[in-house]
Structure formats: structure tokens, C-alpha cells
Structure 1
Amino acid sequence: MYLADAAWPDLESYFESESIALVPLGSTEQHGPHLPEGTDHLIAEAFAREAADQTGFLRTPPVRIGVSPHHQQFPGTMSVDPPAFRDYVESFTRSLTTHGIDRVIYVNAHGGNVDHLREVGRRVREDGTAFAVEWMWDESIPEQVNDAFEHNGPHGGPKETALIQHLHPDLVHEDRLEDARDTGLVEVSQDVGRVHGARTFYDSIENSENGVFGDQTEATAEIGAQLFDAASDELVALAEWLDEQPFEDLMPRDHV
């Protein structure tokens, strides 16, 4: 069920029997010369929609702008200050709880949001309001993602390219894949941007001229479909597991 399309009597019926909400979150930021700036929120919305369709759980409207200051040098990137982002997410999460929701899955597709969503989850859990957990698709199937590509990348690489080729092929500039590879950073290692063990970079442009990593030419829509199905299965399993947990077991343990 999609909250924004439903009438309140139907939502009232849902809240009487269910207590889970799927909240998709992403970003609007550069993803290289070949992918749309909406890549992350498009991916998050697709996963939330698929999981909601399979389980019948509630899906909320998406959060399409996240914490992205590290991509600000590229035209079009939009970003929210971290405190404002955290407060906003916490506020609408608490709003959901007034209707009976006490379990929230943040279906997240943007790395810059992770720490802030974890912080919000801690806040609402510590006062016993709700259990909110952050989920990222590629972290749910890490071995399959890595095995799919010889040169994977954390941003704008073949994994995101393959998903958008599958989900929104009309938004992929297929004629720019080689340029994305050749003007970006193909080989990604733990040593990139580090000096004597310290991370000396803050922005993606410092490590990649075009802001993306990996070999985008390795991506195909077929691989994207396989990754989407596998990660969707994990999200569905997470939602069903969360639904089965006694609420008290999800809350903080008593002080020793």
C-alpha cells in the first residue's frame, strides 16, 4: 500500500492490523556523465515499492534529497545539512508512530545518509517510541555485487549503472559509459585518498575527476535485474522478520 495514494479510512484499517512502514530515502546528486542525478532515490523507491507489493506493508512517499556535500562541486547536486536532515527524518518518523507504526525500515540508497539514519534510529529507540533500522541494497548482497563486476565502485559505478539500466533504461546515457570509465577512477582501493593512514579527502572530486568510480562498461540491464531481485528478497525477508519480533525485544536492554 502506498500511503500517498490511499484514503484515510483505508489507512485506518492498515494501522489497526499492521505496524510497519517502509520509507525510501536517496539523494539528488551527480552520478557521473552517464546516470541521472536522481539515481539514488529512484533505486530506493523501486526497492520500497517491490517490497511493499510483495508483503502488503505500507510504503511512504520518498525522501529525494539527502546529505551530499561531498558532491557539491558538480552542477545540480542538492544537499541538506546533516542536523536538518536528521531532525526532518526524526520528525516524520514520530509522526508515523502517532498512527500506530512502531517499526520503520529506512530503505536507503545513498551512503551519505547512513550515519544520520542510524542516529535517528537510536533516538526513537532510546525513548521507546519505535524501532527504526537503515537498509542499503548493496550491503544486503555484498558477495553477489562484488562477484558481478571486476571493477566495482562505491559511487556511479557498474552496480548503480546496472540497476538504472534495469529500472529506468531511458535515463542512462549508454554512449557515455566509456567516458565515465576513462575520466573517472577505475581501480578503487583502501589506499585511495589516504596519507599515513589518514583520510585526506572530503569530496569525491578529489579522487575522481568526474565523480564516479569503477568500470561502468561492465554493467548490463540483465545484471541489474539479478541484483534487484536478490536484494528485494533480502528486504522482504527483513520486513517479515521485523514484523514477527515482539516489540519489547527490539527496545534497549536494561542497564547492567
Structure 2
Amino acid sequence: MLLADLTMPEFEAGLQRTRTIILPFGATEEHGRHLPLSTDTLMAETLAARAAERRRVFVAPAIPYGVCRSSSGHPGTISIRGLTLRALACDLLRDYYRQGLRRFILLSGHAGGTHNAFLLDAGEEMLDCLPEAEIAVVTELDLVRADAANLIETRGDSHAGEIETSRLLHSHPQLVKGTSEREFPNFPKGLLVRDKRSCWPGGVWGDPGKACAEKGRAIEAAVLEGLVNLIDRLETADQHLKR
């Protein structure tokens, strides 16, 4: 059930069928010369909607902003502070709980480590504050990491490369504008860099030239299975998972 499409009575009736909701988090971030700024958001909301076809869950409107450190110097990247993301996630969890939801999956299409650390921190805080809540915080890569090794040719591929380009060629082919060159960033280990684009000119982390729609279909299917399995685990969680 897509929450944004429901009327007030439909939402109320939906609570009689499920207390589980997926909250998709994305980003407005460069993805090379060929993918849209909304790539991470599109992947998360598409996956959540597909999961809602398989399991009885609510899907919240996607959050299209996140913490984007490495790409902050590239045109089009709009980043928010980690504390802002954390506060937003806490507020959403708190108010969805007030409305009757009890099981929450924070699904991030953006794989940035800092971004997801703040989502995890929000989940941990709300786990302590909301006594009946069960919370999962995952990225799409978390859901399919083992299977992806058999599907992906590019070692270390993660951003605007083989994986994400394949996903968009499958789900939103009209938004893919050609391709970009294979690239991996060259950030100095342990050092913070002001001019991040100098270490990562093209904004690609992988090889989009290896992408294809069929590969994207297979990757999406593998990630979807991981998400459906997570929903099942969350809804049958043992008491020791609760605080």
C-alpha cells in the first residue's frame, strides 16, 4: 500500500491488515554523466513498491535527500547534514508509531557510510524510546551482497557503475542518457579533502559500460528477495529482538 495514494479511511483500514511500513531513503546526487540525480531515490522507492506487491506492508513517501560527502563537489548533489537526517528519521519513526505502525524498515538506496550511520543511530534511539517498535535499517547492497558477486563483473562497483546503471536500464530506461567511462575515485586514505572532485572527476565508482537491462532485472529480483525475507523476519521476530 503506497501511503501517499491512500485516503484517511483506507489508511485506517490498512492498519487492520498490517503494522509494517517501509521508509525509502534516497538522495539527490550526481551519478556520472548518464544517470539522473534521483537514482538512489528511484531504486529505493521502486524496490519498496515491488515488495508491497509481495507482502502486506505500507510504503511511505520516499525521502529524496541524504548525506553525500564524497560527491558534494559535483554539480547537482544536494546534501543535508547528518544530524538533519537523523532528526528527520526520528520524527518520522515517532509519528508513524503514534499513528499505529509498529514494524519499520528504513531502506536506503544511497549507500554512503556516513548517511547510513545516521540512519542507524536514529533507529537505535527510537528502539529505546518506542517500546513496541521493531526496526531494521538496511541498504540495497546489504540485501543482496552475496548474490551480487555472481551477477556483477566489476569488482568494487558501487556508484553510477555496472550495478546502478543496470538497475535504471531495467526500471527507468528513459532516464538513462548513454553511459560514462569506467572510473574509481582516488581519495587519499585517512585524509579529508576539500576539493573532492579533484579525486573523483567523473563521479563514477565502477564500470557502467558493463551494464545491461537484463542484468538490472536479475539484480532487482535478488534485492527484492532479500527485502521480502527481511519483512518476514521482522514480522515474526522473537521476543529477544525487542527492547
**Fold match by TM threshold 0.5:** yes
- Correspondence for 1:131: 134
Could you give the per-residue CA deviations for residues 147-180 of structure 1, whole angstroms, max 9, x where no partner exists?
3333242211110010000010011112xx2xx2
Could you give the per-residue CA deviations for residues 68-123 of structure 1, whole angstroms, max 9, x where no partner exists?
14322111211111111110111011100012211100111112321111001100
The 8 Å contact of residues 167 and 216 in structure 2, kept in 1 or not, is answered as: yes
CA positional deviation for 1:206: 4.3
How far apart are the structure 2 equivalents of 1:82 and 1:200?
Answer: 17
Output the amino acid matched with 1:214. G
Output the amino acid matched with 1:23. L
- Correspondence for 2:187: 193
Could you give the per-residue CA deviations for residues 185-241 of structure 1, whole angstroms, max 9, x where no partner exists?
3xx7xxx5345xx35557752432111121111000000000001110110111011
- Correspondence for 1:66: 66
How far apart are the structure 1 equivalents of 2:41 and 2:208?
Answer: 19
How far apart are the structure 2 equivalents of 1:204 and 1:165?
Answer: 28
The 8 Å contact of residues 71 and 203 in structure 1, kept in 2 or not, is answered as: no
Q: Could you say what secondary structure the match of 1:156 adopts?
A: coil
Moved more, 17-26 or 139-148: 139-148
Output the amino acid matched with 1:40. D
How far apart are the structure 1 equivalents of 2:195 and 2:15?
Answer: 42
Higher alpha-carbon Rg: 1
The 8 Å contact of residues 126 and 251 in structure 1, kept in 2 or not, is answered as: no
How far apart are the structure 2 equivalents of 1:202 and 1:51?
Answer: 40
- Correspondence for 2:151: 148
- Correspondence for 2:223: 231
Moved more, 118-127 or 200-209: 200-209
Output the amino acid matched with 1:12. E
CA positional deviation for 1:243: 0.8
Q: Quick one: which of 114, 117, 120 aligns to 1:115?
A: 117
* Runs of 4+ more than 6 Å apart: none
Q: Quick one: which of 224, 231, 234 aligns to 1:242?
A: 234
CA positional deviation for 1:143: 3.1
Q: Could you say what secondary structure the match of 1:181 adopts?
A: coil
1:171 aligns with 2:175: yes
How far apart are the structure 1 equivalents of 2:200 and 2:28?
Answer: 19
Which ranges in structure 2 are unaligned for 5 or more consecutive residues? none
The 8 Å contact of residues 103 and 135 in structure 2, kept in 1 or not, is answered as: yes
Output the amino acid matched with 2:59. R
Length-normalised TM-score, structure 1:
0.87
Identity %: 27
**RMSD across aligned positions (CA):** 1.9
Output the amino acid matched with 2:138. W
The 8 Å contact of residues 2 and 60 in structure 1, kept in 2 or not, is answered as: yes
- Correspondence for 1:6: 6
